[in-house]
Amino acid sequence: MLGPLMIDVEGLALDASDRELLRHPLVGGVILFARNYAEPAQLAALTREIHALREPRLLIAVDQEGGRVQRFRDGFVELPPLALLGEAYDRDPDAALDLVGDCAWLMASELRAVGVDFSFAPVLDLRTPHSRVIGDRAFHAEPRVVARLAQAYVGALHRAGMAAVGKHFPGHGVVAADSHVELPIDPRDLLDIEQSDLLPFRALVNAGIEGMMMAHVRYPKVDDIAAGYSRRWIGDILRGDMHFEGVVFSDDLSMAGAEHGGGFAERAESALAAGCDVLLVCNHREAVIEILASLGREARYPQTQARLMRMHARGAAPPLATLHDEPRWQRVAARVRDLDPCPELDLGDDNLLG
């Protein structure tokens, strides 16, 4: 059984405390950061050890969106921010859709080659001038364009044997505040959100996306609590109205935007009760220990298991060195490198989560 917590590890290899926590029955996965990466062989060894700890094997995830949010760089192709692909769509939609597929395939193929199951991607938020933390992480301002580009992106991930996670439901792109440091408030009513932000999420649910990550944003005209703690958003809207049957991930419960949920144990209980399948708890080992102690040792949400099984990578993947010798990789990598999209990169800020 895989449990509902996805946690981090400290360094380039597991230590005894990491192994003990990862064997806990309520842990179901690991999220990796830039500090966990030195070079491809080291990363492949780390993921092999993590996968060997449990059966079914723990899920391994990373934020490898491209642009500002790409944890693994040296030895991997630097991916463009999604906004660059949206700008390409404005010039030539068909060529941009092909480019989106190449970027997604490249990301998935390189991650799978080192044993990572999935990336938390794509971002389905709208690109607006209001949100600095989303900004160029989003494809486009127009919801239908976001939906079309994201469908091409997810289709390419699936062809590469990787599941997809859309974020941040029900939409983070319109609010100015950064949920890493405070709780953003979106004053719009449900109809306004339905007619804009929710369109890409609905389209991707219909396309079979496997995961959704919740936003640490409060929408007071819909519910008094943030979306990640809200039965209204998760149970009534995402699962009920939109018929989403995949994994619902919380955003990191250590973020400031989650603090209004109380202590860490209370945040975990509230998120699970609202309908989250997986709780991310990052860069805070004491919080992980507190949550595990409060939840006990017995997984209480058996319906989560079938959903989590869909998040494992599918099919065989060649090692990274072998992948880099393949003509398709060389063609796609050259095309992406020629974009030269990122003159001012944030080289893997581990505090920019989700």
> What are the tokens at 93?
């939609």
Residue count of the chain: 354
Q: In this structure, are residues 255 and 212 in contact, taking their beta carbons and an 8 Å threshold?
A: no
> What are the tokens at 46?
């780390």
CA distance 3 to 47: 18
Measured from the Cβ of residue 302, the count of other Cβ atoms closer than 10 Å reads 8
CA distance 249 to 285: 19
Q: Is 260 a catalytic residue?
A: no
Q: Which entry of 158, 168, 172, 180 is annotated as an active-site residue?
A: 180
Q: Which entry of 251, 252, 277, 312 is annotated as an active-site residue?
A: 251
Q: In this structure, are residues 188 and 165 in contact, taking their beta carbons and an 8 Å threshold?
A: no
Residue 230 CB contacts under 8 Å (≥ 6 apart), including other chains: 222, 223, 274
Q: Is 180 a catalytic residue?
A: yes
Residue 341 CB contacts under 8 Å (≥ 6 apart), including other chains: 67, 80, 81, 84
Query: Buried b / exposed e across 16-53, counting CB within 10 Å, b at 16+?
Result: eebeebbebebbbbbbbbbebbbebeebbebbeebbee
> What are the tokens at 150?
């994201």
Q: At what angle do helices 143-159 and 93-113 cross, to 10 degrees?
A: 40
Measured from the Cβ of residue 54, the count of other Cβ atoms closer than 10 Å reads 17
Query: Which residue numbers are catalytic?
Result: 180, 251
